[in-house]
Structure 1
Amino acid sequence: MKSLINEFEITEKHYKTLIKQGLDNLPYETGGFLGGKNGQIQAILPTFNKDWDENKDVYALTNEDIHRAHTFFEKHGLIYYAVYHTHPNGIPYPSEADIATGQQYHFILSYKDDEFVTFNCFRIDNKVPTQLPLIVIPDKGFESKELKKKVNLNAKTINQETICDEEDLNERMHNILDDKPNTYNKMKPKDGELNSDFSTFA
């Protein structure tokens, strides 16, 4: 059984990246995934709203997205924590739709009048949200570069896909901070139940 996390830490760089992603997508919702270790958020993975063509106002993703996020974080030696998403004109508190997704942790960024308001974290116990401390620490506390240090570039068994994933994710984060556009490939649905349901956040 996984131990419960009672507080999270996030670097200032990641914190600002998430806030900016929300600002760049106003007035629509946006989101992605968070991963790390020991309550420290060490990686963020922005994702495309799968309902964008039908409903831009609500951030949605498929179970396959969640599966891919689990696989991505595990490949980099991290733990999948949660989905983060924005409430462009709402309170930073899990809605009934959020709770219904079954995610244990929820990270919600709220905005009002095109300005950032706050970033809250919650743990859901028996469908009841409990707010947890979210501590912003200096970038030198821990940073995503630590992930690259764990990769032995001279190893014969090196996974080139792992290196490309890390470089791509790092580039996307810098693009967000530098006001440069990111492009996201729409992946075709896979057969099977992993892609049968939509998880919608509101």
Structure 2
Amino acid sequence: IAEILKQSARPVAEDPLNHFGAGHLDAAAAVQMAQDGQITFRDFFRWLNKNGYLNLRFWFDGGAVALLPKVLMVLGSYLLAWFLRNYFLFRWSWPLATGLVAGSSGLFFLKGLYIFDLPQWPMRVMGSSIPELGTAVGGSSALNPLFASVLIPLVLVALFLGLPKWKWFAIGTTLGVAACLTVSAAIDPSVLWLGEGALSRGFLLANALLCYGLARLSLRSATEANS
């Protein structure tokens, strides 16, 4: 306050002995200077808008997410589960639904979410399905054949098939991976070290069939154990 009063004071021209110090007080100028130095909510809102922080495109890049394939992957996994439910009686549960999403599409909308001054790879990892995790950190669209295969579902089934709740997560994940690999083979069969041609497409389809067979065997074992 004292600094504002000094800066806004009117200097006195004839004051050789400095009786008036910084000069005569000017209340109007002091108030105006104080208001100019304040940052109101309106000023802050204007600054956010001017710099683009209120634009959704600043935080979310829709181009980073291929929406249609992801929707097809999720729907495909649920259709597989619905189809198998006609042969094996089981209930829908959260572990099963979680596995279907984790194996097919993941939380794909997180891939396009950006947080200022933070690395992007954690969002890519959380927004990736299990087959996509192998290249999520590097941001490559190609699939790692170790992740985009029946290997991880096989490990999950081997570990969790004997557990009452976790076995449904493993089965759901297996069906989700089958759907993800099938859609990837049809739309974008890009696999590391295998290219993007018939070899990679055949690899993805073969592993999708293996995942489907594994899920079918696991469901038979799970339903027989419950009966």
TM-score, structure 2 as length reference: 0.25
TM, length-normalised to structure 1? 0.27
- Bigger proportion of residues as strand: 1
